[in-house]
Amino acid sequence: MSENFYAILEIEPGVEQEVIDSAYRRLALLYHPDLNHSPEATRRMQEVNVAYTTLRNPSKRALYDRSNGISTVIHSSGPTSFTNREAYRQQNVYNPPPRAATPPPPPPPVTNSAPPSETQLLTFYIENSAYAFNILDIESVNMMQPLMQHLRAPLFVEGLIAYRGGRIPVVDLRRHLGFPNQPATRETRILVVKFSSISTGLIVDSTGSPLRVENSSIESPQTASDGVRPSFVKGTVRSGYQVVVILDLAALFTLEEYRALKNFMAV
């Protein structure tokens, strides 16, 4: 069997296209060379790119599946995949249990399940200070690009950028947090985040590496003392010699600002 592209993207055969896209975005945030400079991350990102290039294309994916003994059957309840089990046993990747004659009853609901003990963050920098968002709140990291102006844009919106076949507003996070303006540099990035139903770009000075922290190591917001409005801060965590301020994405915009964004994007 050739290299297992499904295993590289950490998904199973038969998943829908949006699952493949979501897996690629998650892995790109972990291994993209702009965010992770280790040789191992570069190698992993190359593998992820090759796998995604094949699986994102329906015809290439179908050819790959046929070549590797993977088939997909669409049932009325949704897509279900099956594969050459012996080949997958040898790879220790995918070995579904035998199908029962009748479907088993659904498992009982899980109650009082323990929350995750870790949080994965994406760090970035403004005014030489380290900040972070929960990595699940970030759709993508983009190079800085020219902004398209719009006369009806809210005052706190710097402009628009093209994004996934449409346009999204961009906010300078430096200015939004109360820091003085600064020209863009080669390190400037646009973080695309999504709160509620609106994708929005946030301009930051630069980005750092993903950071996995124990929830117990996150300190209360009162320890943040760099001038950022306390309501913006979820907490702080120490990473080596630096203190990282974790921002609360949901609190970055007031209700009035959110309504202004929503009305603007509806035009």
Domain ranges of the chain: 5-91, 118-266
pLDDT tens, position by position, for the chain (267 residues)?
468 888 888 888 888 888 888 778 777 777 776 666 677 778 888 888 888 888 888 888 888 888 888 765 433 334 444 444 444 344 444 344 454 455 556 665 555 555 578 889 999 999 888 999 999 889 999 999 999 998 888 889 999 999 888 899 999 999 998 888 889 999 999 999 987 778 899 999 999 888 888 988 888 876 454 556 667 888 999 888 889 999 988 888 888 988 888 888 876
One fold for both 5-91 and 118-266? no
- What CATH code would you report for 118-266? 2.40.50.180
Long-range CB pairs of 159-165, under 8 A, 24+ apart, other chains included: 161/190, 161/201, 163/192, 163/199, 163/201
Q: Which of 231, 191, 209 is nearest to 121 (CA)?
A: 209
What pLDDT score does 70 carry? 79
Domain with residues 5-91, CATH architecture = Orthogonal Bundle (1.10)
Please give the model's pTM, rounded to 2 decimal places.
Answer: 0.61
